Structure 1
Amino acid sequence: MIVVEGLAETEAMLARAGVRMAVTSRQAVEVTARKVKDSARQRISGHKYLPHYPYSISYDLKISGAGVEAEIGPDKEAVQGPLGNIIEYGTSRDAPLPHLGPALEENADDLARGMEIAIAHALGL
Structure 2
Amino acid sequence: MTRTDETSSTENGIETVATSIRMKRTHTRTGIGRDVMSIVRRGRKGPEGFWLPGQTRHEPADPGTVRQQDQVIQSYVDHLLAAGVPGGLGREALKRWADRHQISLPGGSTPMAEVVKRVKAARQESELS
Normalising by structure 1, report the TM-score: 0.30
Between structures 1 and 2, the one with greater helix share = 1
Tell which has more relative contact order, 1 or 2 (C-alpha 8 A, sep 6+): 1
Normalising by structure 2, report the TM-score: 0.29
